[in-house]
Structure 1
């Protein structure tokens, strides 16, 4: 009785004290805009991942043939303008969703956010010659990737030029957009820009800062005049901010945010502690009936997706190792390990229902869950078994993703399996297939092992719960039989 009261008290504390402020935060306008706005970047991330694999097929002989044929450059072009500029898509999508949720014409806000995001960066790139020079330089390569002039040779030949000509040749290339800041390194800046532009744009429209044309003017034209004042104010303010950073700090906003905010936050998300916290909180929220995947996805995507991008860049360069800076915890670590076969990694329960369950309830729900589980969906178990608020299954539900996250982190850290390659496999991709796509055959084998771990962890708890259900069903059947006998 005391245990029951303690359990109810804890549940009441979570539901009344812990979850309300969390849900209030998750349902704020900025977080909703972030959650739904990032979705607009996903098609480009997934399509770009395909081009990434095609330009770097994990079979040496095939990869060499593709590169020699010139197709690698074409695939890389497609990758660059999809996955490679995902922060730009995010900046547009977040501002768009923010203003759309406020009930206003949203596309002009998305385009204003894109212009702002570009305006806040320095429009130049380092001269390619700089990276080729010196003993540590890459040298000059031909189309097939063969070095035709070493870094030392490049330096010695440039040094023979007159100083004025040498300075001109080595100066940055201006009047271009640096795509470095349109990829993963600009993601936190893109999120901030999208949210701030969405808020500012909506506030000005709400306050009546707009040009209103006569009713006879077509709405398609009138809407653009409506956007003119908010867009003009935002872009003018952004220009002044850019000028201040350039004059006072000799930098730009995107680089500043990357160094001050994004780098520390990515490091935190990529730590073992970060992985374990994420792995625990997803089932924790679900246990109390709140969508843990959506909550943690909204909070972590802005950091884990850049981790994916960084790994993709290293994979593209043939340098995908932890020693070279590859991240262990990426968005695919979250989707394809922490949430494998659904939140709580409930494949162990599916296996139990197929081969060991005796209760009708377990068998029935298991048959319903079998196909969804293959695509990492487990709501039939969460609410039908149920797992939500079920003390019999709480321990394996919390424990399995934590153990899988811990062990997966360690096998990557110690080089037993390679880091995830940056391929953005959709979260519904079946297990083992997703493992192969995101990390090759070794990762597919490891993913298989994690499925076996789920079976081992869930089995004793499921067996105990199944016995309780079987007993309840037998008692109900006996009671019904006794009732029928009394009636006759």
Structure 2
């Protein structure tokens, strides 16, 4: 067993270190976090306007009064992500970040059609379609933002700037310095858009959506891909690396896109199209006590095991575990490099996630609506908010019981070990 773990560590740790230090993955994570406060606000409004006990007339009135809060936040999430990528990537190259964010956002809008079609087929000009600023435009937005920020930063660092005298106020000098790099970058994207629309009579939104986004989202929404992601999260944590951050940095673009598609369908009164989404991963994996679903583990340690050491660790970790922070038990049990509990550590999340997927697939519990629920919301409450149903909260309680059932025999083994073996 030890030889196997050593060999696995030798293979995984270099890969994990590369992922953790990757500039683009770190910036993508920060960009989504930049959008989090406004999307959280929008999610609260979605919950308020879609409470299950509201009548249709009251729901319509609330949407009329509060709907702009949703449209200006959740529905245009891609814009915040694009600006965030442009800002953080430009800043990482020691260039003024706010101009990089503005250029990235403008580059994305250059590639975005300023027209839409009505239900009758009539083309309406000089408007922006919300779906292109939300889920449908997410992947093009990310690609555009990375390329635009790279170009802008390279042009700036080559010194292709208008230099102003030292007596000029800094804000004015920075604006003039951004003119040439910004103009060059925007000109490139304008030329690309002119070529694609003029020669091929299509737009990049539809190309990227059909060729890249739909296949990736389809793959990421599958149970198999989700279980593979969970396996790597657990393995990385076992070796003391933050598996959630490392794996999420790769999967978050897909899971967030699925989340937005669910939210758009939910707001339109349609069936939620995806079970797997960011809300599903936050609520029905992390939302059960943190990475590895360890709330049940903490409860067993605190109140069932006999050794005072485990009782003390469990009771100290309980307060944090209620809010899904489980570093105290990961490093206090410890879970890290503890071969005795490797099996339940990996097995419990995989089995529980499979169960959750199945009961949502057959319609016994509603799939998450796409509302963003902070991962620190305690169990039961987060499930109700995410699914807009008490069934979601009850499913979480079943999950906690199942995790405890899987873990209990292994914790009893630890509890029976002589103190010298601890």
Match of 1:270? 221
Aligned residue pairs: how many?
A: 420
In structure 2, the CA distance between the partners of 1:345 and 1:19, relative to structure 1 (3 Å rule), is same
Match of 2:96 among 105, 110, 121: 105
Is 1:349 matched with 2:297?
yes
Match of 2:10? 16
Contact kept, 8 Å, 1:201 with 1:230, in 2: the verdict is: yes
- 2-side partners of 1:428 and 1:99: how far apart? 31
- 1-side partners of 2:119 and 2:163: how far apart? 49
Return 5+ residue gaps in structure 1 as ranges.
131-169, 477-488
Match of 1:52 among 46, 55, 80: 46
Match of 2:169 among 199, 213, 218: 218
Match of 1:235? 186
1:45-444 aligned at under 5 Å gives the runs: 45-61=39-55, 63-67=56-60, 70-130=61-121, 170=122, 172-321=123-272, 326-339=273-286, 340-439=288-387, 440-444=389-393
Deviation, 1:21, is: 2.8
Larger Rg: 1
TM-score, L = length of structure 1 = 0.83
Deviation, 1:438, is: 0.6
Return 5+ residue gaps in structure 2 as ranges.
none
Match of 2:21? 27
Deviation, 1:306, is: 1.3
- 1-side partners of 2:246 and 2:337: how far apart? 18
Match of 2:404? 455
Match of 1:142? none
Deviation, 1:60, is: 4.5
- 2-side partners of 1:46 and 1:365: how far apart? 33
- 2-side partners of 1:229 and 1:254: how far apart? 27
> The residue matched to 1:129 in structure 2 has which SS?
coil
- 1-side partners of 2:274 and 2:155: how far apart? 41
Deviation, 1:414, is: 1.0
Contact kept, 8 Å, 1:15 with 1:288, in 2: the verdict is: yes
> The residue matched to 2:269 in structure 1 has which SS?
coil
> The residue matched to 1:125 in structure 2 has which SS?
strand
Contact kept, 8 Å, 1:34 with 1:195, in 2: the verdict is: no
- 2-side partners of 1:249 and 1:363: how far apart? 68
Deviation, 1:272, is: 1.4
> The residue matched to 1:301 in structure 2 has which SS?
helix
Contact kept, 8 Å, 2:12 with 2:236, in 1: the verdict is: no
- 2-side partners of 1:281 and 1:73: how far apart? 44
Contact kept, 8 Å, 1:320 with 1:419, in 2: the verdict is: no
Contact kept, 8 Å, 1:52 with 1:79, in 2: the verdict is: yes
Deviation, 1:57, is: 2.2
Contact kept, 8 Å, 2:103 with 2:149, in 1: the verdict is: no
Contact kept, 8 Å, 1:282 with 1:296, in 2: the verdict is: yes
Contact kept, 8 Å, 2:19 with 2:246, in 1: the verdict is: no
Query: Root-mean-square deviation (CA), in Å?
Result: 1.6
- 1-side partners of 2:309 and 2:200: how far apart? 66
Deviation, 1:53, is: 1.9
- 1-side partners of 2:38 and 2:206: how far apart? 24
Contact kept, 8 Å, 1:311 with 1:421, in 2: the verdict is: yes
> The residue matched to 1:243 in structure 2 has which SS?
helix
Deviation, 1:100, is: 1.7
Match of 2:415? 466
> The residue matched to 2:63 in structure 1 has which SS?
helix
> The residue matched to 1:37 in structure 2 has which SS?
helix
Deviation, 1:95, is: 1.3
Deviation, 1:128, is: 4.3
> The residue matched to 1:221 in structure 2 has which SS?
helix
- 2-side partners of 1:289 and 1:437: how far apart? 32
Deviation sequence 1:27-50 (CA, Å, 0-9, x none): 221111111111111112111111
- 2-side partners of 1:254 and 1:212: how far apart? 37
